[in-house]
Structure 1
């Protein structure tokens, strides 16, 4: 049993090194499932544009969920994201790109992906998210289906099959201000 609590919230610049370290440890070349690597400068730009969600244990990043607006993505188009958006042309004009998401191997199975996703939905109510998952990443496919995301398309890139999922966060009910 782990002694210390996990905290989940928006990533801050002080989390950048931990995000980069966790990302590097989970690249395909290192035996992980992350196919793309984001440079620290890209992550900083994403942080200033949209919420990036992290899980921390004792102040150390143990999981992250990245998001990117189409405007930021268009500055440095990534082929797999371009194929995702082409495969699912029905995305809302204000839709954003969800991912990557990564949970450290020591924290997997504790529901962190769902908790980070729930936090993201609270941060971006009413907006649609679009994501891709490699067809051979069965744990991720199962997790995202369990989160309530729907497969909307698929495509091939570099001889690999990718599934496109989409979801829309429910808008928060408006609360009336006291008079």
Structure 2
């Protein structure tokens, strides 16, 4: 589990730079697993829409879990493809991406951020997609109790769609 100096809570605008920095460090082009790069403007809109969860250690963002309503990211083609594969409940929201900094991996931080999200959004369905070749993420999300409900292809990659009830 995480150390006693790690704090998990809802993000606010002061966390923006740390989220953007961690996102940039974990792009696929830099050896990470994040394929999308969200702008500060989009993140601010998401933050106003739904809870974004962050983990902080010694004042630095070491993890984040982003969420948004279906409507806010409806313009993103891969999100459209996910909802075409699995529609979900009328008030279902988009879970992800989730990112844990390299130094914090394997300490249960993803599960702690997920538990905080579920506390803030009880009873709502969350829907996410994971690339089929991202075995670590597939395992982690199955371990968190999520279930695979569909598959789709996008830009020549195969994805699994998962869901859960908060």
TM normalised by structure 2 equals: 0.97
Distance (whole Å) between structure 1 residues aligned to residue 84 and residue 37 of structure 2: 21
SS in 2 for 1:100: strand
CA distance in 2, matches of 1:3, 1:46: 28
Contact 1:87 1:154 in 2 (8 A): yes
Among 111, 117, 131, the alignment partner of 1:114 is 111
Count, aligned residues: 165
Partner in structure 2 of residue 174 of structure 1:
none
The DSSP-based 3-state class of the residue aligned with 2:54 is strand
In the aligned structure 2, how far is the partner of 1:149 from the partner of 1:48?
26
1:12-64: CA deviations, max 9, x gaps? 11100000000001011111100111000000010111000000001110000
In structure 2, the CA distance between the partners of 1:3 and 1:36, relative to structure 1 (3 Å rule), is closer
Residue 43 of structure 1 corresponds to 43
Determine whether 1:93 maps to 2:90.
yes
> How many angstroms apart in 1 are the aligned matches of 2:10 and 2:3?
23
Taking only aligned residues, the RMSD between alpha carbons, in angstroms, comes to 1.1
CA contact (8 A) 1:152 1:165 kept: yes
Does residue 163 of structure 1 match 2:163?
Answer: no
Secondary structure of the residue aligned to 2:104 is coil
Distance in 2 between the 1:44 and 1:160 partners? 29
> Hey, which bits of structure 1, 4+ residues long, moved more than 2 A?
none
Residues 1-179 of structure 1: matches in 2 within 5 Å? Answer: 5-74=5-74, 77-89=75-87, 91-169=88-166
Deviations 1:42-96 (A, max 9, x none): 000101110000000011100000001012113xx1111111000002x000000
How big is the shift at 1:3?
7.3
Segments of 5+ residues of structure 1 without an aligned counterpart are: 170-179
Cα distance, 1:121 vs structure 2: 0.1
Structure 2: 5+ residue stretches without partners: none
How many angstroms apart in 2 are the aligned matches of 1:40 and 1:139? Answer: 27
In structure 2, C-alpha distance between the alignment counterparts of 1:168 and 1:114, rounded to whole Å: 15
